[in-house]
Chains A and B, each alone.
Chain A
Amino acid sequence: MTDVELPETPLLDELEKGPWPSFVKEIKRAAIEQEKAMKAGKKIKLPGAAKGLLKVLELAYKEKRTHWKHGGIVAVVGYGGGVIGRYCDLEDKVPEVWHFHTMRINMPSGWFYQTKALRAICDAWEKWGSGLTNFHGSTGDIILLGTRTEYLQPMANALAYLDKLYGSPAPFDIGGSGSDLRTPSACMGPALCEFACYDTLKACYEFTMRYQNELHRPMWPYKFKIKCSGCPNDCVAAKARSDFAIIGTWKDEIQIDQEAVKEYAKVIDIEKQVVKKCPTGAISWDGKELKIDNRECIRCMHCINVMPKALKPGKERGATILIGGKAPFVDGAIIGWVAIPFIPENELIEKCCEVLEAIWEWWDEEGKFRERVGELIWRKGMDEFLKVINQKADVRMVYAPRNNPFIFWRELNQ
């Protein structure tokens, strides 16, 4: 029972049924509770936004088309990104959501939170926005969904003073959007996972802090993403979803606890589940001892995933850098290519910064509008890219050498 009247949404109501949690219920809840909060005397600047969204969305479902249009001004002083301007084409019918801009908020590394911080964000967004969020957006930011142009600055200020005004343990800053460094993200890494080969949370935080200007003031041909995964399992999909993927790995031997292997042997079929599944046949098991030929091991993680109590990455840890990962728009999808096969853990952050800065300078100068760095490498060639990042070619960068002899001998043809 509510005393708040909701618009009729017969199509959306269908999506309240079924066992999976419903986003429609969330929109309705925001509509009802925000209005109630206002009636109870709370300061609410944008009552009716969630209700407006229900109307627009129901119409979208009916007509099988979107009702949002174009972008807009980034109306937060000092920032060129982090705000996605969005307007509704039903201005006269649903004025509540004529403006429905999104704010992207830089999440803490690894998406760890204190409830005090989340509550503070909720209180501020209940006041200045639609009360709707995404935890999280595709790049990893906290998404605050829908507010008006004139509330963007106050909301940004609320976040900048979230500690003083709302009791958060720390303030929150705006994330990236447009042609800038997008908010870097990281897997849970050493915070919770024994596979982490470097400190992903620290690396992510360092990059974010060092490149605040690149994150907040878009000047590049297009977006640039950095993602940090602690091991080749790549839980943040860095290889496919970031231009610069930092994938934890190791160089020496896998650490084995033979007693723990024997324990596993009681519950699983090691021959079938581990030995036979090793892609290079590097493992043998005689029922007593597990042997790994580490020269054959390609560090794919399968055996470690199956027996985490018995096997661990080696001690000589670091990361591989893959470059160019992106979605298909415009010239086709790329899963990042190996740019640097191994950087030791203690040199990792500094080396990455050095390489990142070299890449940005080159791409900013040479890149065409909307050309991601992977596509620029396609256009310019890997040999030029390797010069830019000052790396020697390594056979680990390719599956196979080239199959044509049409080599550009530039040094002979100046």
Chain B
Amino acid sequence: MTEEVNKEELKQKVLEYLAKKPWQVRDLAKVLRVKKRELDKIVQELINEGKAAYWSSGSTTYVTTKDKLEEMEKKRSGT
């Protein structure tokens, strides 16, 4: 039970962080002090739920929220 709650809490926290900027999951794992593998799963769930998404430069990949991503794309096309 508590584990479920903790997981939901962590998921919420992850989402808050993802909303700030595009992340490398490994860096976020360090900030949140969780195992990368565990965070991978949470991020994957968020992606499947449509709340997070990938941003790719072609050679490397970042994760952020859908909203942040749209904001970034909009901001960039404004150049």
B55 touches A179 (CB 8 A): no
B58 touches A178 (CB 8 A): yes
A84 touches B56 (CB 8 A): yes
Other A-B pairs beyond A70-B57, A89-B79, A91-B77, 20, CB < 8 Å: A70-B76, A71-B55, A73-B53, A74-B53, A81-B56, A81-B61, A84-B56, A177-B59, A177-B61, A178-B56, A178-B58, A178-B59, A178-B60, A179-B24, A218-B56, A219-B25, A222-B59, A364-B26, A369-B24, A370-B60
Q: How far is the CA of A87 from the CA of B44 in the complex (A)?
A: 27
- B55's partner among A74, A79, A86 (CB-CB below 8 A) is A74
A178 touches B26 (CB 8 A): no
Point out the residues of chain B lying under 8 angstroms from A86, CB to CB.
58
- Quick one: closest A residue to B39, CB to CB? A219
Q: Is the CB of A8 closer than 8 A to any CB of chain B? A: no
- Quick one: closest B residue to A365, CB to CB? B36
A179 touches B61 (CB 8 A): yes
Nearest chain A CB to B3's CB is how many angstroms away?
23
User: Interface residues, chain B, CB within 8 Å of chain A?
Assistant: 24-27, 36-37, 40, 44, 47-48, 53-61, 69, 73, 76-77, 79
Number of A-B contacts (CB under 8 A): 77
Q: Is the CB of A180 closer than 8 A to any CB of chain B? A: yes
Q: How far is the CA of A85 from the CA of B57 in the complex (A)?
A: 7
Cβ contacts A to B, 23 pairs, < 8 Å: A70-B76, A72-B55, A74-B55, A74-B56, A80-B47, A81-B54, A84-B56, A84-B58, A85-B56, A86-B58, A87-B77, A89-B79, A98-B77, A177-B61, A178-B57, A178-B59, A179-B61, A218-B54, A218-B56, A221-B26, A364-B26, A364-B36, A369-B60
Nearest chain B CB to A242's CB is how many angstroms away?
16
Nearest chain B CB to A174's CB is how many angstroms away?
12
Point out the residues of chain A lying under 8 angstroms from B26, CB to CB.
221, 364, 367, 369
- A218's partner among B27, B53, B61, B76 (CB-CB below 8 A) is B61
Nearest chain A CB to B40's CB is how many angstroms away?
5
Q: Which residues of A336-390 have CB atoms within 8 Å of chain B's CB atoms?
A: 364-365, 367, 369-370
Question: Chain B's interface: helix, strand, loop or mixed, by majority?
Answer: helix
Query: Which 6 pairs show the lowest CB-CB distances between chains A and B?
Result: A178-B61, A71-B57, A218-B61, A80-B54, A84-B58, A74-B54
Proximity bits, A80-97, B CB within 8 Å = 1, else 0: 110111110101000000
Point out the residues of chain B lying under 8 angstroms from A312, CB to CB.
none
Q: Which residues of A71-121 have CB atoms within 8 Å of chain B's CB atoms?
A: 71-74, 78-81, 83-87, 89, 91, 98
Nearest chain B CB to A181's CB is how many angstroms away?
12
- Quick one: closest A residue to B55, CB to CB? A73
Point out the residues of chain A lying under 8 angstroms from B48, CB to CB.
78
Q: How far is the CA of A79 from the CA of B26 in the complex (A)?
A: 19
Q: How far is the CA of A27 from the CA of B59 in the complex (A)?
A: 26
Proximity bits, A10-34, B CB within 8 Å = 1, else 0: 0000000000000000000000000
Q: How far is the CA of A73 from the CA of B62 in the complex (A)?
A: 10
Nearest chain A CB to B75's CB is how many angstroms away?
11
Nearest chain A CB to B49's CB is how many angstroms away?
12
Q: Is the CB of A239 closer than 8 A to any CB of chain B? A: no
B58 touches A71 (CB 8 A): yes
Point out the residues of chain B lying under 8 angstroms from A87, CB to CB.
76-77
Q: How far is the CA of A219 from the CA of B63 in the complex (A)?
A: 10
Q: How far is the CA of A73 from the CA of B61 in the complex (A)?
A: 10
Nearest chain A CB to B70's CB is how many angstroms away?
8
Q: How far is the CA of A222 from the CA of B69 in the complex (A)?
A: 21
Point out the residues of chain B lying under 8 angstroms from A78, CB to CB.
48
Knowing A80-B56, A178-B59, A221-B26, say if A73 contacts B40 (CB, 8 Å). no
- Quick one: closest A residue to B56, CB to CB? A178
Proximity bits, A233-277, B CB within 8 Å = 1, else 0: 000000000000000000000000000000000000000000000
B61 touches A72 (CB 8 A): no
Q: How far is the CA of A214 from the CA of B44 in the complex (A)?
A: 12
Point out the residues of chain A lying under 8 angstroms from B69, CB to CB.
73
Q: Is the CB of A223 closer than 8 A to any CB of chain B? A: yes
Nearest chain A CB to B25's CB is how many angstroms away?
6
Of B25, B61, B76, most A-chain CB atoms within 10 Å: B61
Q: Is the CB of A217 closer than 8 A to any CB of chain B? A: yes
Point out the residues of chain B lying under 8 angstroms from A83, CB to CB.
56
A177 touches B44 (CB 8 A): no
